[in-house]
Amino acid sequence: MLKLDSVSKVYRVGAFGGGELRAVSDVSFEVGEGEVVSLIGESGSGKSTLGRMILRLASVSSGTITLDGRDISSIRDRKEYYRQVQGVFQDPFSCYNPVFRADRVFEMIKEQYFPRLGAAEWRTRVETALESVRLDPGNVLGKYPHQLSGGQLQRMLIARAVLLDIRLLVADEIISMLDASTRIDVLNLLADLRARGLGILFVTHDLSLGNYVSDRTVVLRNGKIVEMGRTDLVFGAPAHPYTRSLLASVPRLHAKWTDEVVEDVPCAYHEAQEESRTRPGLAEVEDGHFVACSGCAGAAAEEKKIKEKA
C-alpha cells in the first residue's frame, strides 16, 4: 500500500541557507493493509519528519513515497489524498481551537467531504464513529476541549479519521501525553482498526508500546534505518548495538535500576552481507530481519577500498 523508497530530507541551515542538515537519509520501508509498523528511535532521529513527509506536510528532498504505486507528490488534489491518509499527533489539545466546541472537527469534515449529506444522516454517522472509538456521543458532543480529557480528544481525532474510511493512519506519539489507563484503551483501539484493514504507522520512542502493538519494527538513528524486520525478531534477537542499547534502557517492572553493559559482538551486517544484501545499506541477518553496519572496522576498510578505486 504505502512504500518509501530511498527517501531523504535535507534542510537548509545557517546564514543564507549555505549549510545543510540531513534529517532523514535513504529510508526505505513499506506499510501494508491491516499492518502496524512501529517507527522507533530517540528524539531527533527523524521519526516525525518521516511522518510529516508521508502526510505531505513536508516535501521530500530525494526518493519517492508512493501509495498503491502512485507517487503522492503527483496527487494534485490533496482532498483525494487525505481521504485515504490521515494523521493523529502527540498533543491532542493543540489540534482544537479552544473557542469552538470539540466536535467542530466533524463539521469541518462534513463541509469538505460530505456537503450534500443531510443533518440527520450525518449525526448518525458521527455517533457511529464515536461509538467505534469507545466514546459515548452524549458525553462528548457539544463540549469544549477544556471539558474533555486528553484521551477523549485523541479518540475524537481518530473518530474523525474513521468517518473518512481512511486506509492509512500516521499515529505520531499519540499516547505519550496520556495516562497509563488511557494508553491501553487507545492501543487496543488501534488493534481493532488494524483488524478492519487499516494500515498504521505508529511513531514512538517507547519500545514497550511498539512491541505491544506492531507487526513490524523500523529502528531509526540519526535519520537512517539501523535495523528493521518482524517485531518479534527485532525485539527477540536485536542485531545492532543501538537497538540492543535501547532495549537495555527499558525499565523492568520487577527489577531495580542498574547499569547494564551492552556487550560488544561482531558486526552482524558484515557477517551477513556476503550471503544476502537485498537492501541498500542493510543486510538480511535472517528471513525478514535487516540490519545496518554498526560502524565497525570493516566499514572503515570498505570505505577506504572505495576511495582507492575512485
From first to last of its 310 residues, the chain has per-residue pLDDT tens of 999 999 999 988 877 767 888 899 999 999 999 999 999 988 888 999 999 999 999 999 999 999 999 999 888 888 889 989 999 888 888 889 899 999 898 999 999 899 999 999 999 999 998 988 888 999 999 999 999 988 888 888 888 888 888 899 999 888 776 777 777 777 888 888 888 889 999 998 888 888 888 999 999 999 999 999 999 999 999 999 899 888 887 777 676 666 666 666 778 887 776 655 556 688 888 888 999 987 775 555 554 453 454 4
pTM of this structure: 0.85
- How do strand 216-221 and strand 224-230 relate by DSSP bridges? antiparallel
Q: Which cell numbers in the block locate residue 18?
A: 549555505
Strand ordering across the sheet containing 70-71? 19-31, 2-13, 62-67, 70-71
Buried b / exposed e along 201-219 (16+ C-beta atoms within 10 A): bbbbbbbebbbbbbbbbbb
Architecture per CATH, domain 2-84+166-309, reads as: 3-Layer(aba) Sandwich (3.40)
Q: Which cell numbers in the block locate residue 122?
A: 450525518
User: Across the strands, what pairs with 12?
Assistant: 20
Q: Which cell numbers in the block locate residue 310?
A: 575512485
> What count of residues does the chain have?
310
